Structure 1
Amino acid sequence: MRILIVTDAWYPQVNGVVRTLDTVASEAAKLGHVVGFVTPDRFRTVPMPTYPEIRLAIAPRRRLGRLIESFRPDGIHIATEGPLGWAARKWCLKRGLPFTTAYHTRFPEYVKARFGVPLSLTFRLVRHFHAPSRGLMVATRSLHQELHGRGFTNLRPWSRGVDLDRFTPGPKDLLPHLPRPIFTYVGRLAVEKNIDAFLSLDLPGSKLVVGDGPEMARLKAAYPQAHFAGARHGEDLVAHFRAGDVFVFPSLTDTFGLVMLEALACGLPVAAFPVHGPLDVLAPHVGVMDQDLGAACRQALTLDPDACRRYALGFTWAATAAQFAHNTAPFRQDWPARKDGRTLEPVLIPHLP
């Protein structure tokens, strides 16, 4: 099957959405599918307000249509609710072609945290966006239940995986100058990640923050005792995971939380709030969830790192890709031949470095 993914989230962004789409495309190719992408780098863009590193396509409709027709897909997946997502939605509806979507980001909670917009208004808009979808893919059971309760339909499960060859236990000697235990956060430094809830805790040892984002300067000024390592990639990122003793996940709004699986695969127990994401991903022997995040952090120190690794082995990207392909709504379409006889080759981007 030829599957075209339309997404507003793509490189050079470093986040769970990009990692998921990139890895699923590679794994789907191993299953015999051909996966292509339509991404913002093919259009004129402007920076997203409050997130200048995220580029938004300007007036993408005409070029988007040409790209879709040139690829000649058997199925179309609209991954995000940005300008490309809305344009692809309109293009498919106009032609009566089925498509699937995904609920990657808690957009209503994000908009409320950033701009104070009531959840009811934003949920109405997001529900309208996904209503025509033949399959709205969601990562967890609790998110499925929540969205169903809010009137979303055609919900389909789509779990997540972890690169078990890359994220592995190993030496903890990367940061010998930091007193132990080391409590680690890895992710974007943004207001919706609720990082203050972690950095304001009274904990023994050290706090390690790995990542970058719009909140970096404020957090560094507010919490000078924390160690900020900045954005890390590849083996350097894995080494920073391994250096910790407990992974702290303070977010209240993530739909899944891939970094928790990456931490577990490296042998780090997780401390989190009992909210969507952690409630679906964690088990009592590998993570502690408590409204008192400090208590969760201290208790997580007692968990077995080997058990964390064994638990992570149950999450594979191959299964995630198979689930994605199964969810895709295929269609048969007699695509008109291009005058120049060319087709748009699938764009398979390599994994993040």
Structure 2
Amino acid sequence: MRIMIVSDAWLPQVNGVVRSLLETVRELRASGHQVALITPLGGEHDAGDGFRTLPLPSYPDIRIALFPYRQVAQRLAAFSPQAVHIATEGPLGWAARRWCLRHGQPFSTAYHTRFPEYVAARIRLPLAISYAFMRRFHAPAAAVMAPTPSIVRALRQRGFGNVVLWGRGVDTTLFSPGERERLDSAPPRFVYIGRVAVEKNIEAFLQLELPGSKWVVGEGPQLEELRQRYPAVHFAGVFPQHELARFYRAADVFVFPSLTDTFGLVLLEAMACGTPVAAYPVAGPLDVAGDSGGGVLHQDLRSACLQALALDRQQVRQVAERFSWAAATQQFEAHLHPRPLGEQEGMAFTAGGGR
């Protein structure tokens, strides 16, 4: 099958959306599918080099395409996809949506990020306004893929249609138990890995009175502010994915203070390394860890951190082994809505006009 994936999030960004798409593309190609991507900056030969971009406000390291419709239309027409998946609600996503509607091409979308809550955390925009925008974007999709049962239910309750489950996996070879290289700080070591931004609620972790030491691994717009406000915390900076395993292994507890993530791949990565997680009992942690023994969820995050210290690391690893990218990609493939082959071959695609 010829599958086109359109995403405003791509390399060199390092986040859950990009990692999910990278793994999904790898699995799809391993199964014999022909997969192409349209992205802002590229990262591989078939990706979207050439778009004019500008930095996303408050996220200067994230660039979004500027007036991309004509180029998106040309690339879709040239590839003549049997199935189109629109991963994000940014300019590229809107351009691909427009092209698909013009040409009668069914498409699927994904709900990776709780943007209404993110926006509310930054500029206090009412959730009703943001969710109306999101419903409009996803309404024509044949399937709206959400990462957990909790998010599926939440979207349906907010009036989204055609919502289906597309789970996530973890690379249990890269993220695995091993030598626990000790971080240069007092034990026990509580570690957060991820984007350093207000929507991640990191201060809920940094403000806790905990024994030992705290670590933050990652970068983002709130990094310098938090570094100045919490001088006792160890801020390690950003590392490529293949180097993160040593931080996960060295941690005694992985702390996930977010209240807005739809899944939290870092939870799986930590558990795959045998490190128990501490988090709030909200969507994401409830679906990934729950009462599985992989972590402790509690409204009192300090209590969760302290209780997680007692968990068996071997049992924590076993929880992560239940998740695989192969199974997740099978779900993804099942939710695609390809145009029937005969109709596809007989249709003359054109790029369409205007921006």
Give the alignment's TM-score, normalised by structure 1: 0.94
1:30 paired to 2:30: yes
- Paired AA for residue 148 in structure 1: R
Partner of 2:45: none
Q: Aligned partners of 2:266, 2:294: CA distance in 1, in Å?
A: 14
1:96 paired to 2:104: yes
1:189 corresponds, among 193, 196, 209, to 196
Partner of 1:344: none
Residue ranges of structure 2 left out of the alignment (5+ in a row): 42-48, 351-355
2:320 corresponds, among 312, 315, 325, to 312
Partner of 1:265: 272
**SS in structure 2 opposite 1:97?**
coil
Q: Aligned partners of 2:143, 2:7: CA distance in 1, in Å?
A: 16
Partner of 1:146: 154
- Paired AA for residue 156 in structure 2: H
1:119 paired to 2:118: no
1:228 corresponds, among 221, 226, 235, to 235
Q: Aligned partners of 2:195, 2:90: CA distance in 1, in Å?
A: 19
The correspondence of residues 190-229 of structure 1 with structure 2, limited to 5 A, is: 190-229=197-236
Give, in angstroms, the shift of residue 337 of structure 1: 8.4
Partner of 1:6: 6
Q: Is the 8 A contact 2:249 2:275 kept in 1?
A: yes
Give, in angstroms, the shift of residue 336 of structure 1: 4.0
Give, in angstroms, the shift of residue 166 of structure 1: 0.3
How many residues were matched structurally? 337
CA change 1:80–1:234 in 2 (3 A) is closer
Give, in angstroms, the shift of residue 174 of structure 1: 3.7
**SS in structure 1 opposite 2:306?**
helix
CA change 1:292–1:71 in 2 (3 A) is same
Q: Is the 8 A contact 1:72 1:335 kept in 2?
A: no
Give, in angstroms, the shift of residue 236 of structure 1: 2.3
Residue ranges of structure 1 left out of the alignment (5+ in a row): 339-353
Deviations 1:13-52 (A, max 9, x none): 1000000001100011111211110001231001000011
1:21 paired to 2:21: yes
Q: Aligned partners of 1:39, 1:81: CA distance in 2, in Å?
A: 12
Q: Aligned partners of 1:187, 1:235: CA distance in 2, in Å?
A: 14
Q: Aligned partners of 1:19, 1:173: CA distance in 2, in Å?
A: 25
162-171 or 283-292, which moves further after superposition?
283-292
Q: Is the 8 A contact 1:23 1:317 kept in 2?
A: yes
Q: Is the 8 A contact 2:213 2:233 kept in 1?
A: yes
**SS in structure 1 opposite 2:208?**
coil
- Paired AA for residue 261 in structure 1: L
CA change 1:90–1:234 in 2 (3 A) is closer
Q: Aligned partners of 1:166, 1:235: CA distance in 2, in Å?
A: 7
1:248 corresponds, among 237, 252, 255, to 255
CA change 1:49–1:337 in 2 (3 A) is closer
Q: Aligned partners of 2:315, 2:321: CA distance in 1, in Å?
A: 10
Give, in angstroms, the shift of residue 225 of structure 1: 0.6
1:67 paired to 2:75: yes
Q: Aligned partners of 2:220, 2:198: CA distance in 1, in Å?
A: 9
CA change 1:30–1:11 in 2 (3 A) is same
Q: Is the 8 A contact 2:80 2:349 kept in 1?
A: no
Report percent identity of matched pairs: 54
Q: Aligned partners of 2:67, 2:241: CA distance in 1, in Å?
A: 35
- Paired AA for residue 72 in structure 2: L
Partner of 1:349: none
Q: Aligned partners of 1:140, 1:337: CA distance in 2, in Å?
A: 36
Give, in angstroms, the shift of residue 173 of structure 1: 2.4
Q: Is the 8 A contact 2:103 2:349 kept in 1?
A: no
Deviations 1:137-191 (A, max 9, x none): 011111111110110000111000000110001122242x311000010000011
CA change 1:211–1:147 in 2 (3 A) is same
Give, in angstroms, the shift of residue 335 of structure 1: 4.9
- Paired AA for residue 6 in structure 1: V
**SS in structure 2 opposite 1:40?**
coil
- Paired AA for residue 188 in structure 1: R
1:163 corresponds, among 148, 156, 171, to 171
2:88 corresponds, among 80, 84, 96, to 80
Which aligned segments of 4 or more residues in structure 1 are displaced greater than 2 angstroms? Answer: 334-338
Q: Is the 8 A contact 1:69 1:335 kept in 2?
A: no
**SS in structure 2 opposite 1:318?**
helix
